[in-house]
Amino acid sequence: MITDKNIPRHIAIIMDGNGRWAKQRGLSRLQGHKEGAQSVRAIVRACKDEGVKYLTLYAFSTENWARPKEEVAGLMKLLVDFLKEQECELHENKVRLRVIGRTEDMPILVQSELKRVIKATSAYDSGNLTLALSYGGRSEIVRSARLIAEQVRGGRLKPSDIDEATIAENLYAPDVPDPDLMIRTSGEMRISNFLLWQLSYSELYITDTLWPDFRAEQFHEAILEYGRRRRRFGDIDAT
């Protein structure tokens, strides 16, 4: 039985398998991404049903810029379409949109839509949807180090005062709790430069299901599995 105690407060997802899903069906990679966008909508709704307050989606990595220009352009259009289509549902469910990553790398139209929806939903606190865009875990930590270095150079911080909390406070979204559960679809056994600092004690759930096939039922199964685990955070198992 699922109780509030074993519902993850924050779930992060590496949405993998759009290309393989499309290839299996003789479709273009862009068609796979379009179907994957439907999974995003389904999981955002499922978070409300399951009682998950924070959802972070690895939507576009810093490495994804190396993909063919046509695919990147298609992904950017899909993102703009998603923001326009999803905005009403965000308002209806009082879900706040946030973004982490090098958003300045995104096309101007994408930046404009992101800023608009982020501002329009900024007062909501029923749920939080964070999109990781042009994001890399290593670059986030480098950015944090640079911000801290600037504080030291400006005399606002002593090197001896730097600790783990200092690093965390200078990440993209310091007020968002670390993920309790990280889900990766498509069966790949790696975290691909995603939330390297924040995932230190997250439970990992790997499923062979490709992202376009990952919907509310599969999401529920992941939460059930999370509920069966005992998070020890370095402590011994007393059972």
User: Residue 139: is its pLDDT beyond 60?
Assistant: yes
Q: What would the mean pLDDT of 1-10 be, rounded to a whole number?
A: 76
**Residues 191 and 203: beta-carbon distance below 8 Å:** no
User: Residue 5: is its pLDDT beyond 70?
Assistant: no
pLDDT of residue 1: 46
User: Residue 178: is its pLDDT beyond 60?
Assistant: yes
Residue 37 lies in a domain: yes
Closest by CA to 205, choosing from 232, 187, 192, is 187
- Lowest mean pLDDT of 10-24, 118-132, 221-235, name the range: 221-235
Q: How confident is the model at residue 92 (pLDDT cuts 50, 70, 90)?
A: very high
Active site residues: 16, 64
Q: How far is CA 148 from CA 18, 64, 196, 235, in A?
A: 38, 28, 18, 31
Residue 100 lies in a domain: yes
The pTM of the full predicted model, rounded to 2 decimals, is 0.94
Average confidence score pLDDT of the chain: 95
Residue 90: give the domain boundaries. 4-135+179-227
User: What CATH number corresponds to the domain at position 216?
Assistant: 3.40.1180.10
DSSP state of 233: T
Share of the chain above pLDDT 70, in %: 95
Residue 140 lies in a domain: no
- Lowest mean pLDDT of 3-7, 63-67, 105-109, name the range: 3-7
* Number of domains the chain is built from: 1
Largest CA distance in the chain: 60
Residue 235 lies in a domain: no
Q: How confident is the model at residue 231 (pLDDT cuts 50, 70, 90)?
A: confident
pLDDT of residue 230: 82
| Cα–Cα dist 193/211, whole Å | 18
Residue 145 lies in a domain: no
Q: What would the mean pLDDT of 45-52 be, rounded to a whole number?
A: 97
User: Residue 26: is its pLDDT beyond 90?
Assistant: yes
